[in-house]
Amino acid sequence: AQTVTQSQPEMSVQEAETVTLSCTYDTSESDYYLFWYKQPPSRQMILVIRQEAYKQQNATENRFSVNFQKAAKSFSLKISDSQLGDAAMYFCAYRGAYDQGGKLIFGQGTELSVKP
């Protein structure tokens, strides 16, 4: 069975600085998708960034980028120029490429606070 682990329950960053959130996963599948979701106090999950396992190039979305290390099964999220609105729970998630049901497996989450 696939598992996702986030070892940092809480992280803090100064506004305008850079922070990296860690995520490791375990799978025997060769093809899959990895995601970072943001969950603000409104509780709605918002997709931040997505990475296809077959792509070697790390995904980037504006201030958000990932460091995808397939061999190490590591998928970290880097937030540059942190803003107060980035404060939220961040979840790393896995989805098998051949899973027709599209089930997401989530980590435990990292609560990010941004200090002004």
Partner 1 sequence: DAGVTQSPTHLIKTRGQQVTLRCSPKSGHDTVSWYQQALGQGPQFIFQYYEEEERQRGNFPDRFSGHQFPNYSSELNVNALLLGDSALYLCASSFDPGPLGDTIYFGEGSWLTVV
Instruction: For the chain, report the end-to-end CA distance as a whole number of angstroms.
Output: 41
By the rule CB under 8 A, 22 interacts with partner 1? no
By the rule CB under 8 A, 73 interacts with partner 1? no
Q: How far is the CB of 9 from partner 1 (least distance, A)?
A: 9
Q: How far is the CB of 43 from partner 1 (least distance, A)?
A: 5
Among 2, 11, 24, 50, binds partner 1 (CB under 8 A): 50
Among 52, 64, 65, 78, binds partner 1 (CB under 8 A): 52
What does the binding site for partner 1 look like in residue numbers (CB under 8 A)? 4, 6, 33, 37, 42-47, 50, 52, 91, 95-109
